[in-house]
Amino acid sequence: MQSFRTEIENPLVEKDILELEKKIRAFKGGSIDEEKFRSLRLARGVYGQRQPGVQMIRIKLPYGKVSSKQLRRIAAVADEYSTGRLHITTRQDIQIHYVDLERTPELWAQLEKDEVTLREACGNTVRNVTASETAGIDPNEPFDVSPYAQAIFEYFLRNPVGQEMGRKFKVSFSASDADTGLSYMHDLGFIAKMENNTRGFKVLLGGGLGSQPRHADVLYDFLEVDKIIPLMETVIRVFDRYGERKSRAKARLKFLLKDMGLEGFKGLLEAEQTALPHKVWPIDISTYPAVVIANRKEEFDLPQNTEAYSKWKQTNVIPQKQAGYYAIGIKVKLGDFYTDKARFLADLVEKYAAAEIRLSLRQNILIPYVKESLLPLFYAELERLGFAEIGYNKAVDITACPGTDTCNLGIASSTGIAAELENLIASEYPNFINNPDLVIKISGCMNACGQHSMANIGFQGMSIRTKEKLVAPALQVLLGGGNIGDGNAVFADKVIKIPSKRGPSALRYILDDYIANGQNKAYHLYYAEQGEHYFYNLLKPLAAIDNLTKEDFIDWGNEKQYKKAIGIGECAGVVIDLIATLLFESEEKIQNAEEEILQEKWAASIYYAYASMVNTAKAMLTSENTKTNTHNSIIKDFQRLFVDTGKIVLEESFVELVLQLNKKEPTAIFAKSYLANAKAFLTTVDQYRNQELSHA
């Protein structure tokens, strides 16, 4: 592996990239075990694919805003290091696939030249902050949420409180009560509100999808804008300490909130207030970059095919709150497009709009700030590009995760069936092309990256086994989900499981029934009126598995017989001493704490010192084969098994030593004394460990 030097001016970014290169070398050399290396690279946007030996790179793009310069940079990187295909995710990121692990530091360095980061795009971190793609242009919004989403992104990027949580943490901003940011399914969701001419947010807490969807609780009906960052830091601190770590299936915030209840969680939030570095965090919106619109005055004739142009305007063009301007929606089939189109778009919006695009939660592209006189030009140019397909954010616009194409966890194809269903609607149900209320989403497994459990009509990839022990791809059909607005929603019911090749028939049954009996109602209301049993009986003929044909054993988009397999896609590592690795990490956290002290970042230093002590205690509990589920249990179990028994002698209770974290203000004096305690604790444990090893 050849080393390289970055040309990045930001020393924090350069350190990050060089650290990734260093850890790749250590992993390849066998001095870091696979599990620890996975955690490090995921926090830097490097994700193992289903295919061995290559990686998926997730590019973190706050609230989906991408400038023309950034889009060109991403395209150049995708061509140089990947296949030239870009994939838009349901979190407004871009992913590129089939990247060599050893080239990822260099790739990252290239992206950072235009301030594009991979940091915390994956892993147990604060993931990409999402927002309504119409933020700033929505006629119904009380104010633009973009500066607040940007402030959240900047504050928590590399923030020690959110680097190694039990699981990921997701945040969203909705521009209006329509809640197009989907606040109800996020760990923290913010809906823009105004009270007495004061800006604020309705705050929702503890939502999530996955195999057990949970509707978020209302934490505040109104919270002033300068309190949202301190609130989020408090929530993360509580989640980090009390959240599950052993069982990934129970490690999301929604499970912690379910276990202790909203009032119990509020009590823990209150207990953290003393330790917060900031009680308020004013967000200066005047520093947010102003929109600069290209000053083009030429007008263009209407396209020759005026009927097609009219339909496109009807389904893909959105009036903005700025008079005379429109946003153009581009339906990106399954979220996939290539770098040639990306470059064309970058040039087009730079020349004729505001030199930016927005990626949407439904894997599409929105071009804001297009003058009405330029709509014919944009239609002609987008049509030439193959980007003028009608049906933006309509029923024909199906959301799907990558599924078995590239994802480790995919059970059945989601992209293949999605393409088939889109074609079915376009050819057999053209009236639904202009229906914005029928939402169809597909995921390749229960983890719900395609958000199937919040859809009106959802499909989840599964498998079925026949009496002869043959395995075929299947779909769980979910019905009745819907976004009601203002943080209210219903999740879809799991109605029935059918062989995957019968998915098109299932959709026909569902749409025919809706047309005949309920099309004058929103679909989630029609479903609730009829009930789950009604739809189970409707689809039951498709569920039989005693009449499967040869085709039923071949998944969508494949030619070979289906084989259920969870891809590994991770480089094999040498198994080494996990305890030594944990203690080595504790030393690194001490070094981080010392660096923060030098920069007078007292709260950050305290949190690194805290993480070091917990990590050190975890190492010793691991040596005793003791479960290490939560930070709180680690602290208490170390006290019980090592301090109370006299194995390790400390001057004070370990519980009291560590939990000074949330009992004292983050001053310079406390930060320095807390760091000294953490260093002394690590030294004591190292001495104990060395003594134990010498007698082994």
The predicted-structure confidence for 501-541, as pLDDT tens digits, reads as follows 999 999 999 999 999 998 788 999 999 999 999 999 999 99
Q: What does the pLDDT look like over 11-36, one tens digit per residue?
A: 888 888 988 888 888 888 887 777 77
Report the candidate in 76, 78, 113 with the shortest Cα–Cα distance to residue 94: 78
Tokens representing 495 are 């109605």
Residue 519: per-residue pLDDT: 74
Tokens of 313: 């305007």
CA distance 361 to 335: 10
Burial of 631 per CB tally in 10 Å (0-12, 13-18, 19+): buried
User: Band of the pLDDT at 689, cuts 50, 70, 90?
Assistant: confident
The token pair that represents 676 in the structure block: 């000294």
d(CA 694, CA 102): 38
Sequence-ordered strand ranges (E) for 513-670 = none
Share of residues in the chain with pLDDT > 70 (%): 96
Residue 2 banded pLDDT, cuts 50, 70, 90: very low
Can you give the residue ranges of every domain in the chain?
11-112, 130-287, 306-385, 399-553, 578-694
Q: Where are the beta strands (DSSP E) in 444-554?
A: 457-465, 471-479, 482-485, 488-490, 493-499
Q: Which pLDDT tens digit goes with each residue over 130-150? A: 999 999 999 999 999 999 999
Give the CATH number of domain 130-287; options: 3.40.50.300, 3.40.50.1970, 3.40.50.410, 3.30.413.10.
3.30.413.10
pLDDT tens per residue, range 632-675: 999 999 999 999 999 999 999 999 999 999 999 999 999 999 99
Query: Please, which contacts does 1-8 make with residues 24 or more away whose CB atoms are closer than 8 Å?
Result: 1/25, 1/28, 1/102, 4/105, 4/106, 4/109, 6/105, 6/109, 6/112, 7/109, 7/113, 8/109, 8/112, 8/113
Matching CATH topology for 130-287 and 399-553?
yes
| Total residue length of the chain | 696
Q: Is the dihedral of CA 88, 90, 92, 96 positive or negative?
A: negative
- What is the DSSP-derived secondary structure letter of residue 492? P
Q: What are 74-105's pLDDT values in tens digits?
A: 999 999 999 999 999 999 999 999 999 999 99
Q: pTM of this prediction?
A: 0.90
Q: Which comes out higher in pLDDT, residue 520 or 169?
A: 169
The topology (CATH level 3) of 11-112 is: Sulfite Reductase Hemoprotein; domain 2 (3.90.480)
Determine the CATH number of domain 306-385.
3.30.70.3340
What single-letter DSSP state applies at residue 459? Answer: E
Q: How far apart are CA 183 and CA 253, in angstroms?
A: 14
The CA distances from residue 597 to 124, 158, 589, 616, 681, in Å, are 25, 16, 12, 21, 18
Rounded Cα gap, residues 3 and 26, in angstroms: 13
Q: Rounded to 5 degrees, what are φ and ψ at 54?
A: -130, 160
Q: What whole-number distance in Å separates Cα of residue 691 and Cα of residue 696?
A: 9
d(CA 311, CA 84): 31
pLDDT > 80? residue 354: yes
Output the CA–CA distances (angstroms, integers) from residue 426 to 31, 336, 380, 388, 416, in the order listed: 55, 19, 22, 14, 16
Q: Are 165 and 248 in contact (CB under 8 A)?
A: no
List of residues 6+ apart from 549 with CB closer than 8 A: none
- CATH second-level architecture of 578-694? Up-down Bundle (1.20)
Q: Give the span between the Cα atoms of 25 and 57, in whole angstroms.
A: 19
Class of domain 399-553 as given by CATH:
alpha beta
pLDDT digits (tens, 9 = 90+) for 542-579: 999 888 888 888 888 887 787 765 543 332 222 234 67
Q: What is the pLDDT of residue 680?
A: 96
